C-alpha cells in the first residue's frame, strides 16, 4: 500500500511511503484487539480498593448480650456484619488485575488495529515534526493545517522528542507515543493516526 507523505503544513510532498501489507493490509482479528485492549486497561487499574472486614473494625470484643433468654438471635460481637457499623462481608481487597497475554496475540492485535485504520483511510504519514522549543501554538498550527484540530489524534514518533511532547500535552485529544511503545488501545481510541516518516520502518521492524 503506497501513501503520499504530507508536510506539517498539510501539503502533499513528492515522496511516497510503502506501508507493508503484512501490517496494514491483513484481515483484522477483532478478538485479538479485544483481548489486548482488555489487558491494557486491566494493567492500568490501581487495584487499591479496600473495605474493612470484621477483623479490621475498631471496637470491643465483649459479648454484647447473654446467650439465651433474650428472645432474639444470639450475638457475640458488635463488629458482626449484621450490626450497623460492623465489618463488611467479602469486601474488596487490594489486588492486581493484570493478566498474561501471549506476545503473538498482542502483535496480531496491533497489526489488526493498524489495518482497520488503513482501510478506513485514517492513517497519515508526515515528513517530520520538530520544534526548536516547546510551543503549543506551533503544534496547533500543524494540527489545523492537516485538519486535525480538536480531533483525537495519535502521533507516532520514531524516537523521544521532548519539544513535541511538551508542545502537545496541553492539547486535548492529542497523544504522543514512540514507535516502539505503540499499543492497540491507543490506536483504536484515536480518530486519526499520524505516523512520522522515520517511524514507519521502526513499526515494521517491531511487528515483523
Residues 6+ apart with CB under 8 A from 92: 49, 50, 51
Give the model's pLDDT for residue 182.
Answer: 93
Give the model's pLDDT for residue 1.
Answer: 80
Contact 91, 57 (CB under 8 A): no
- 32: exposed, middle or buried (Cβ count in 10 Å: 0-12, 13-18, 19+): buried
Contact 183, 36 (CB under 8 A): yes
Residues paired with residue 174 on neighbouring β-strands, in sequence order: 153
**C-alpha pair distances (Å), 9 with each of 104, 134, 160:** 38, 18, 22
Distance, in Å, from the CA atom of 187 to the CA atom of 34, rounded to the nearest integer, reads 13
Residues 6+ apart with CB under 8 A from 191: 122, 151, 152, 153
Q: Is the pTM of this model over 0.85?
A: no
Query: Domains of the chain (ranges plus CATH)?
Result: 2-45+98-207 (3.40.1370.10), 50-96 (no CATH)
Give the model's pLDDT for residue 129.
Answer: 87
Q: Residue 69: which region, alpha, beta or left (left: phi > 0; alpha: psi -120 to 50)?
A: left
Give the model's pLDDT for residue 9.
Answer: 86
Give the model's pLDDT for residue 100.
Answer: 95
Q: State the 10-residue block means of pLDDT for the chain, 208 residues long.
A: 86 87 93 97 95 92 91 92 92 95 95 94 90 91 89 92 91 92 94 92 90
Give the model's pLDDT for residue 156.
Answer: 94
Amino acid at each position: 500500500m503506497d501513501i503520499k507523505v504530507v508536510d506539517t503544513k498539510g501539503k502533499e510532498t513528492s515522496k511516497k511511503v510503502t506501508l507493508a501489507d503484512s501490517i496494514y493490509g491483513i484481515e483484522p482479528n477483532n478478538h485479538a484487539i479485544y483481548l489486548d485492549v482488555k489487558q491494557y486497561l486491566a494493567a492500568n487499574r490501581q487495584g487499591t480498593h479496600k473495605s474493612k472486614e470484621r477483623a479490621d473494625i475498631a471496637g470491643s470484643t465483649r459479648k454484647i448480650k447473654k446467650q439465651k433468654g433474650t428472645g432474639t438471635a444470639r450475638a457475640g460481637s458488635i463488629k458482626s456484619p449484621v450490626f450497623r457499623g460492623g465489618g463488611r462481608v467479602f469486601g474488596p481487597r487490594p489486588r492486581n488485575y493484570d493478566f498474561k497475554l501471549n506476545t503473538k496475540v498482542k502483535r496480531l492485535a496491533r497489526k489488526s488495529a493498524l489495518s482497520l485504520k488503513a482501510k478506513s483511510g485514517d492513517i497519515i504519514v508526515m515528513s517530520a515534526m520538530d520544534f526548536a522549543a516547546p510551543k503549543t501554538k506551533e503544534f496547533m498550527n500543524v494540527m489545523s493545517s492537516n485538519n486535525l484540530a480538536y480531533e483525537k489524534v495519535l502521533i507516532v514518533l520514531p524516537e523521544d522528542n521532548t519539544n513535541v511532547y511538551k508542545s502537545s500535552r496541553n492539547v486535548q485529544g492529542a497523544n504522543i507515543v514512540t514507535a516502539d511503545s505503540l499499543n492497540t488501545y491507543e490506536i483504536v481510541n484515536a480518530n486519526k493516526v499520524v505516523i512520522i516518516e522515520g517511524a514507519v520502518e521502526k513499526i515494521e521492524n517491531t511487528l515483523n
